[in-house]
């Protein structure tokens, strides 16, 4: 029996460990651990990579979202539209400010928020829309960006799972995080661009809002011990920035490897005759999927997951309980059946092993094991 984990960070570390150790030692020698030159260098390099005016490090992807909403003045009584099929933080940051998350069902093909349904949920209280580029597939934000701008509604891109993803818009390559008012990134260790701890980033082309973020991430500080407003303590530390600077030049190659692995899965599903039971993830023809996760829709999901676990294959379910059914959001008044596409996906989706160093023979073992399950069931 082969052991194939859902993800493996050690293989990646082995490739870069000497460079990473040098980077960490550089910070140790400097004795500058909070913000400083390493963070500023990383911010410049990310801004250049994405083609955006401002990139601002913070403590986590969650804080990136929260800082963005704070900078926009989101408060009690406001509404923020988003998807019920995403990580908890996307909506929790809205509630933390006293505003109301308003959920819109997902597109069953892309798994992203159904862009066309956003229009129907806009009210005079709508102040922002958070679009999540889920699992590495960028949503069609260009379809909604103009309307929101005309209505003075802010667009926030949740890019936590999609660093390096892009869409071709009007013959231009536009990276995720560069179209909305803000782009919010996470550098959690398992991300396509991951650090070795928590870390986050906010991008914006608005210089005034960039200055707001800079102040808010340090308690609203505008001078020595002078605070213009109530901010928070959310700073990217120098060690994480140094590590991310080492890893950033490799992210394109890692994303290419993820795409090769995704295509190999699709071919193997056909080769082993299980395509009728397992549906590969979708990629728009004008988009570039970076496959943070490789999430399939499959028959007998729970039984398959158990069988794979018993045979050494690690899998995950993202997300078994949509946000509108989470106990923490019960006060919003949603119920089972309100968002049927998100609920259906939560019952039949499964994330298979996906990381750039996944070997072809490991993939073949995964799919062969899946085929044995379906042949016997």
- End-to-end Cα spacing for the chain: 20
Residue 49: pLDDT over 90: yes
The domains found in the chain, sorted by start residue, are: 9-249 (3.40.640.10), 251-376 (3.90.1150.10)
pLDDT computed for residue 224 by the predictor: 86
Query: In whole numbers, what is the pLDDT of the chain averaged over residues?
Result: 97
pLDDT computed for residue 167 by the predictor: 98
Ramachandran quadrant class, 210 (left: phi over 0; alpha: psi -120 to 50; beta: rest)? alpha
Per-residue CA distances from 104 to 81, 114, 201, 297 (Å)? 7, 7, 26, 21
pTM of the model: 0.97
Ramachandran quadrant class, 180 (left: phi over 0; alpha: psi -120 to 50; beta: rest)? beta
pLDDT computed for residue 292 by the predictor: 98
- Specify whether 191 is catalytic: yes
Categorize the per-residue pLDDT at 223 as very low, low, confident or very high, splitting at 50, 70 and 90: confident
349-366 confidence digits (pLDDT tens): 999 999 999 999 999 999
Categorize the per-residue pLDDT at 328 as very low, low, confident or very high, splitting at 50, 70 and 90: very high
Distance, in Å, from the CA atom of 360 to the CA atom of 364, rounded to the nearest integer, reads 6
130-183 confidence digits (pLDDT tens): 999 999 999 999 999 999 999 999 999 999 999 999 999 999 999 999 999 999
Q: Which residue in 17, 127, 151, 191 is the catalytic one?
A: 191
Measured CA angle at 255 (ends 251, 256), to 5 deg: 120
Percent of the chain with pLDDT over 70: 100
Distance, in Å, from the CA atom of 209 to the CA atom of 200, rounded to the nearest integer, reads 17
Average pLDDT over residues 216-239: 94
Percent of the chain with pLDDT over 90: 98
82-128 confidence digits (pLDDT tens): 999 999 999 999 999 999 999 999 999 999 999 999 999 999 999 99
Average pLDDT over residues 62-81: 98
Cβ(90)–Cβ(325) under 8 Å? no
Average pLDDT over residues 50-65: 98
Average pLDDT over residues 312-326: 98
Residue 14: pLDDT over 90: yes
């Amino acid at each position: 029996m082969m052991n194939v984990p859902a993800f493996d960070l050690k293989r990646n570390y082995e490739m870069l460990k000497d460079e990473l150790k040098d980077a960490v030692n550089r910070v140790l020698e400097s004795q500058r651990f909070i913000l400083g030159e390493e963070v500023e260098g990383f911010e410049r390099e990310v801004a250049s990579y994405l083609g955006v005016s401002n990139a601002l490090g913070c403590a986590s992807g969650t804080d990136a979202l929260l800082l963005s909403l704070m900078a926009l003045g989101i408060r009690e009584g406001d509404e923020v539209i988003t998807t019920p099929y995403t990580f908890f933080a996307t909506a929790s940051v809205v509630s933390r400010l006293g505003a109301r998350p308003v959920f819109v069902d997902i597109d069953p093909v892309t798994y992203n928020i159904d862009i066309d349904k956003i229009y129907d949920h806009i009210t005079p209280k709508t102040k922002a829309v958070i679009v999540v580029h889920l699992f590495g597939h960028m949503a069609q934000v260009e379809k909604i960006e103009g309307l929101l701008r005309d209505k003075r509604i802010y667009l926030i891109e949740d890019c936590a799972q999609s660093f390096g993803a892009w869409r071709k818009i009007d013959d231009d390559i536009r990276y995720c995080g560069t179209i909305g008012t803000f782009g919010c990134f996470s550098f959690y260790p398992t991300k396509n661009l991951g650090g070795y701890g928590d870390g986050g980033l906010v991008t914006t082309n608005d210089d005034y809002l960039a200055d707001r973020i800079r102040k808010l991430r340090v308690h609203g500080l505008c001078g020595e011990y002078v605070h213009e407003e109530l901010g928070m303590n959310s700073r990217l530390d120098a060690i994480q920035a140094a590590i991310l600077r080492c890893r950033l030049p490799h992210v394109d190659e890692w994303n290419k490897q993820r795409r090769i692995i995704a295509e190999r899965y699709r071919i193997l599903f056909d080769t082993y005759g299980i395509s009728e039971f397992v549906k590969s993830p979708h990629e728009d023809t004008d988009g570039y999927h970076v496959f943070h996760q490789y999430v399939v829709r499959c028959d007998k999901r729970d039984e398959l997951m158990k069988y794979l676990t018993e045979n050494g294959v690690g899998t995950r379910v993202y997300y078994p309980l949509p946000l509108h059914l989470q106990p923490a959001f019960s006060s919003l008044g949603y119920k089972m059946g309100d968002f049927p596409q998100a609920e259906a996906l939560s019952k039949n989706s499964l994330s298979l092993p996906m990381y750039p160093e996944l070997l072809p023979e490991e993939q073949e073992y995964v799919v062969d094991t899946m085929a044995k399950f379906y042949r016997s069931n």
